[in-house]
Amino acid sequence: MSNYGENANYGKSVEYSHESAEPCASVKSEVESLTEQIAVTPLVIAPGPVFVKLPVVLAETNITIPVEAIIKLDQPAMEIKRIKKNVFLTQSRIIPFSQDGQFGTGILFIAGFIRKNIEYATQTCTTARTANVCGDIRHCTVEVPFNFTTRITFLRPPIFIENRTTSELEFFTDKLKGCDVCSDPVIGRNLCDRSSFDTEFFNEKPFTELVRADITEIDINTNTTISCKTPTEQSFTKLTEKVVVNLTLKVLQKQQVRVTAVI
């Protein structure tokens, strides 16, 4: 609380005390010293051919996806202030084989969603006999899902090694006899012994990278309410969005590549 000194005479000065006032913010800073660095010469491999395992681009494609979504807000909105949009992929699968004679192609399955953060103005009070409106700024975050299937053409085919069928060995025996001691022994496969050979190959799984996403949309207010007192203002709780998503994707697989090291 501010304290004023007694001002009995007009010629005396008035003192003001800030002792009881607390600061709204405090800042503490210091200057950091510069740490010296020493350059280090990296160790490199000898010149010559080298085999490395790197992600290799199998295909790069551009896809357009039309999406329609209906979004319901928790409170009536007067105006959409901003919509921030981000694209996320949740699934990426590829069938690298063609079953219809189109060689060098594969089928790509993609699923994902558009994360939208919607900021909108609400109406909480109005001024009597005027068109003035007051309210709050609220936000709503929703996920708009999408999925598609498309055919891609390989720039470089993926490398897969198929597993072989199991090889089995059966053994002969002539020691099988029945209960009749006078009958001949049964000749055939030994039921007690069996040998098999299995080989299993572990291939690198292709994966997808999201290179670019372009989003174009139209927002339509579907259940508007107009006030007779203020016809220039309206409120709504539902949005119908017609969205066109354009994605640029890369399909990659880790493969062994031969490179030549130089001096």
pLDDT digits (tens, 9 = 90+) for 94-135: 988 766 667 789 999 999 999 999 999 988 776 666 667 788
- Give the domain ranges of the chain: 48-157+166-261
pLDDT at 8: 45
Comparing 81-90, 218-227, 228-237, which segment has the lowest mean pLDDT? 228-237
Report which of 107, 70, 63, 71 is spatially closest to residue 89, judged by C-alpha positions: 63
Closest by Cα among 110, 120, 121, 118 to 67 = 110
Quote the tokens at residue 108: 């790509």
Amino acid at 9: N
pLDDT by residue (tens digit) across 48-88? 888 899 999 999 999 999 999 999 998 888 889 999 999 99
Condensed to tens digits (0 to 9), the pLDDT of residues 36-48 reads 999 999 888 888 8
Q: What is the DSSP string of 12-47?
A: S---B--TTPPPS------PPPPPP----PPP-PPS
Buried b (16+ CB within 10 A) or exposed e, 10-43: eeeeeeeeeeeeeeeeeeeeeeeeeeeeeeeeee
Burial label, 240 (beta-carbon count in 10 A; 0-12, 13-18, 19+): middle
**Percentage of the residues of the chain whose pLDDT score is greater than 70:** 79
Q: What proportion of the chain, given as a percentage, has pLDDT over 90?
A: 42
Q: Is pTM beyond 0.85 here?
A: no
